[in-house]
């Protein structure tokens, strides 16, 4: 890595660190649909939350929001969906991430279909770039996938969430979304490598 690339990498890391310092930590009870809401957990920034639903629909972060091993977990509690209800929900995630994990806390015919991509159209949901992963989970089910093409810095998540028409008693008012991040050891090695390159460059110049 030459000095220009090293300087650029350091500048990107510094800019991202400044972004984190100005962004609140994701906290249970936060209203993710409030205008301009964003938050961060363990190096990931979450923003651009949108939902296509009737006026008054609510979605807040739930108590399971936090960090579990190498997973950053966003827990969502929302206005209950019953038989025949369907919404689209989407958001943006910025930071080094390796994949997604979804848990559907619904019952009956509740289902969640999810697409992760590297670009998205606004204001309407939909991928306009490469699809990185596609997963789906039925009631009380889960699904996971690693991103195609390796680690990603910006990912757009789009969900089709609903309860089918045919099965009475279906219900969905919560789901968890997890993002796999590099192990702390991996990040330490990368940081140590960059530091070592910088020190080596300094010794060569002196």
Q: Give residue-wise pLDDT tens across range 183-201.
A: 864 444 444 444 544 545 5
pLDDT number for residue 78: 97
**Res 13 pLDDT > 90:** no
CB-based contacts of 125, cutoff 8 Å, min separation 6: 50, 52, 88, 89, 90, 158
**How confident is the prediction for the chain on average, in pLDDT?**
83
Phi, psi of 181 (to 5 degrees): -120, 160
Number of domains in the chain: 1
Q: Which structural domain range is residue 32 located in? A: 3-192
Measured CA to CA, the distance from residue 91 to residue 120 in angstroms comes to 10
State mean pLDDT over 8-20.
Answer: 44
> For residue 201, is it within any domain?
no
With CA atoms as reference, report the closest residue to 135 among 166, 104, 106, 162.
Answer: 104
- Give 128-174 pLDDT, tens digit per residue: 889 999 999 999 999 999 999 899 999 999 999 999 886 677 899 99
With CA atoms as reference, report the closest residue to 97 among 33, 144, 161.
Answer: 144
> For residue 147, is it within any domain?
yes
pLDDT number for residue 64: 97
Q: What is the CATH number of the domain that holds 72?
A: 2.60.120
Measured CA to CA, the distance from residue 37 to residue 42 in angstroms comes to 17
């Amino acid at each position: 890595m030459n000095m220009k690339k090293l300087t650029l990498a350091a500048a990107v890391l510094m800019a991202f660190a400044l972004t984190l310092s100005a962004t609140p930590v994701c906290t249970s009870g936060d209203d993710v649909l409030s205008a301009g809401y964003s938050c961060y957990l363990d190096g990931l920034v979450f923003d651009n939350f949108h939902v296509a639903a009737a006026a008054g629909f609510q979605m807040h972060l739930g108590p399971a929001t936090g960090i579990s091993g190498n997973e950053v977990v966003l827990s969502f509690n929302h206005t209950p969906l019953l038989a025949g209800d369907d919404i689209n929900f989407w958001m943006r995630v910025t930071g080094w991430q390796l994949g997604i994990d979804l848990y559907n806390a619904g019952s009956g015919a509740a289902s969640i279909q999810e697409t992760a991509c590297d670009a998205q159209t606004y204001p309407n949901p939909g991928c306009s770039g490469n699809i990185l992963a596609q997963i789906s989970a039925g009631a009380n089910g889960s699904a996971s996938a690693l991103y195609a093409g390796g680690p990603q810095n910006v990912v757009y998540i789009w969900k089709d969430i609903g309860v089918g028409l045919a099965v009475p008693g279906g219900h969905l008012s919560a789901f968890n979304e997890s993002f796999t991040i590099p192990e702390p050891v991996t990040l330490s090695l990368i940081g140590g490598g960059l530091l070592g390159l910088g020190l080596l460059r300094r010794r060569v110049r002196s």
